[in-house]
Structure 1
Amino acid sequence: MPQRRTVTSRSQEPRQRFAEELKALREGSGLTLRELGERLGWDHSLLGKMENGQTLGGPEVVGALDQHYGTPGFLVTLWELALADPAQFKEQYRRYMALEAEAMSLWHFAVSVLPGMLQTDAYAREVLAAGGIGGQELDRQVEARVGRRAWLVGKEAPAFRCILSEAVLRTPLRNAGAWREQVAHLVAMAERPNITLQVLPLEAGLHALVSTDVMFLKEFSGRTTAYTETAYHGELVQEYGEVERLQRAYDSMRDLALSPAESLKFIGRMLEEAPCDPST
């Protein structure tokens, strides 16, 4: 079971919180900046600037720090929050992501787009570009989004369940090769012991979450938090009665979904049917 992280009085401002966590983890390990740099193969001056908040570093060094400290995905998520322009991340979603970084288990329902943690680089790029993001900001947000994948494959990765509407799998990328890569990635992720994927077939008909993405997380305290999202609105849900209502809707929808084994076969057939990239 992942180690429970103690709630602290550290800053809630993402960039400062990221720097504080880096420094606290290093000091807790008893290493100097120079010793840490030698172990990781990174310049100690860069690590010092990251701890001072002068720079955020890149996904490679943050991933290396996550692995070194045994905190898979935790630092990457804080880095993503710090990297993001506050205007582009609604406050409620930022709060959800902060909780997600310390959750013991997660379960999602995707209406039309794959969850970020299951996206390949190419899929994330096309989804973000479709939302009007471009240039260097697009590159930064792609790096941030795909960096979170490491959280699902680490030694202490949380349990993760995702129900995908069949519509998600029927909406390919424009690039045939990139789409095949994405579907193959789903197959590989579905075979991991901590990940459960299910497909909700279109023939299941209408259900309570037909137009709403929903994400749940369970904290080590036992509390469950939800985040719902439509094309134009997102909401953090923490009130017990509302979370219970959403969870009942999720459970009834899960009863309509294919079993994990059937879902894996379904996704496998999608991979077989996916058009080949004519350039290969």
Structure 2
Amino acid sequence: MPPRRAVTGRSQEPRQRFAEELRLLRAQKGDSLRQLGEILGWDSSLFGKMEKAQTLGSPEVVQALDQHYGTRGLLLTLWELAAGDPTQFKERYRRYMSLEAEAVSMWHYAVSVLPGLLQAEGYARNLLSAGGVRGEDLTRQVEARIGRRTLLDGEDAPRFRSILSEAVLRTPLKDAGQWRRQLEQLVADANRPNVTVHVLPFSSGLHGLDSTAVMFLRLLDGRAVTYTENAHRGELIEDSGAVERLQRAYDAMRDLALSPAESQKFVKQLLEEVPCDPST
């Protein structure tokens, strides 16, 4: 069978096609992002991120857009195709990703690797390669991961706090140049007004999250949800009692971490230890 011929000239990649349709419908209706947010009751930044294909949003948001634009389920159909696209994030991440796009603040603990939002391209590529990702799939996943960093950009970006176990920073990349660039980016990220970075030194001893990488999201409605992860699986926790227990463990661990200023100094000292590229 010959390959399908493009008729409309528009993207045949599901996620991009969904974003294109959102931009076109809003332009036809003459709404600004702010007006759209006021009418539908979600933060306007969410719709901006959806139109840039940075997030898909939740089914509830898409159903509201379908009703607003009178598209009779078309947008929800496109959303389902985009959410099922194998080139995008695995199933267990999709619900989390939709919530992350709506978060007003996020706080995180890293056990062994940097969180995706703080990863430079070289670090992301090495990490995904170590997990067995290859070829075009590797390129797509690196682009998707680096694209998520835009969540931290702009005046309406959520506040993000990350506590890094010292083990994260004591596990360098084999390429000294790439490792230097990662540490430099970490220093730059820590200087963003909406980003706070702590280092949890080995000397802090044992704590309640020793083996658990965890991300907390504070949502627009005031709820908090948690995503826990290890090398083999992730779990989204929305039960308020379970989230509260994890929050208490996080708060106790945060009390053991270095201050942001001390943490900056720690990372800069590591940076000084990385061999310089002789070609620079």
Q: What's the TM-score, normalizing by structure 2?
A: 0.75
Aligned to 1:240: 240
Letter matched to residue 56 of structure 2:
L
Aligned to 1:253: 253
Aligned to 1:76: 54
Letter matched to residue 262 of structure 1:
E
**Pairs within 5 Å for 1:47-58:** none
Larger Rg: 2
More deviation, 261-270/85-94 = 85-94
Is contact 1:73–1:150 with CA below 8 Å preserved after alignment? no
> Does structure 1 residue 23 correspond to structure 2 residue 1?
no
Q: Call closer, same or farther: CA 1:276–1:168 in 2, change over 3 Å.
A: same
2-structure distance, mates of 1:74, 1:164: 30
Letter matched to residue 180 of structure 2:
R
Letter matched to residue 211 of structure 1:
S
Q: What's the TM-score, normalizing by structure 1?
A: 0.75
Deviation of the 1:88 alpha carbon: 8.1
Aligned to 1:218: 218
Deviation of the 1:216 alpha carbon: 0.7
Query: SS in structure 1 opposite 2:55?
Result: helix
Letter matched to residue 125 of structure 2:
R
Identity of aligned residues (%): 59
RMSD: 2.8
Query: SS in structure 1 opposite 2:156?
Result: coil
Aligned to 1:153: 153
CA deviation string 1:173-216 (max 9, x = no partner): 01000000000000000001000000000110111111110011
Q: Call closer, same or farther: CA 1:147–1:179 in 2, change over 3 Å.
A: same
Q: Call closer, same or farther: CA 1:21–1:135 in 2, change over 3 Å.
A: closer
Deviation of the 1:157 alpha carbon: 1.1
Is contact 1:106–1:160 with CA below 8 Å preserved after alignment? yes
Is contact 2:15–2:53 with CA below 8 Å preserved after alignment? no
Deviation of the 1:156 alpha carbon: 1.8
Query: SS in structure 1 opposite 2:53?
Result: helix
1-structure distance, mates of 2:52, 2:234: 23
Is contact 1:108–1:161 with CA below 8 Å preserved after alignment? yes
CA deviation string 1:106-135 (max 9, x = no partner): 111001110111111100000000000111
Letter matched to residue 21 of structure 2:
K
Q: Call closer, same or farther: CA 1:182–1:102 in 2, change over 3 Å.
A: same
Letter matched to residue 249 of structure 1:
A
Aligned to 1:272: 272
**Pairs within 5 Å for 1:124-143:** 124-143=124-143
Deviation of the 1:75 alpha carbon: 2.8
Is contact 1:74–1:102 with CA below 8 Å preserved after alignment? no
Query: SS in structure 1 opposite 2:54?
Result: helix
Unmatched 5+ stretches in structure 2: 1-12, 31-43, 58-80
Is contact 2:88–2:141 with CA below 8 Å preserved after alignment? no
CA deviation string 1:214-262 (max 9, x = no partner): 0110110111110001122211100010000111111000000001111
Q: Call closer, same or farther: CA 1:73–1:110 in 2, change over 3 Å.
A: farther
Letter matched to residue 91 of structure 2:
E
